[in-house]
Amino acid sequence: MKGRTVLITGVGKGLGRALALELASRGHTIIGCSRSQDNLTSLQSQLSSSNENHLFINADVRSNESVQDMARVVMEKNLVPDIIVNNAGTINKNNKIWEVPVEEFEAVMDTNVKGTANVLRHFIPVLINAKKVEGIIVNMSSGWGRSGAALVAPYCASKWAIEGLTKSVAKELPQGMAVVALNPGVIHTDMLSSCFGASASLYQPPHSWALKAATLILNLTPSDNGASLTV
């Protein structure tokens, strides 16, 4: 498979970082964004020998203006992505909905839902204008985007929103492009630890997950448009 350019949000740690490292090791070019410049710098250092064309941008997907600026930089660098992975996400601390602080609820929605919408708003036109007729968009969902769970209602609501958003956008894309909702499965990340505590360590680490996820993502085609998939 020839080298492709992959944009991954939330690339500083967790699944985003693991996926970036795995795809780069297979010869693909990474465009990554994160709110943490330190995390971006360390990732860039890790990948410095694999491809000089990688691009890392300090951006906050919660901000429409920040994503707009990122899209402008990407176009200026002539690095239009073949694949976009809307990975940036957060979760509320375990709590009943009436005990979740309003700021925490808004942070989950702003990152998981609005953040994804901001990327779609500014990058779908980039793909269309660049005639990326087989552009692939992956919106990270969750098993909790297809079922409910106590104590994480804000997170569940945000991922159910991703499922609906994906199916609607699939009907709007030009023929040949595709958007899918991808449940990554259960992986030992900081987010899982916040829900499961010590038992989170019983699950696979991000780098093991990335081996399978990268293959699945690279093999998506326009025929997958609108699908709800699972790694």
Q: Which residues are known to be catalytic?
A: 155
Residue 101 CA to residue 104 CA, distance in Å, equals: 5
Residue 25 CA to residue 197 CA, distance in Å, equals: 31
User: CA 87 → CA 116, 125, 181, distances in Å?
Assistant: 8, 19, 11
Contacts of 169 (CB under 8 A, 6+ apart): 120, 124, 137, 179
Whether 202 contacts 185, CB under 8 Å: no
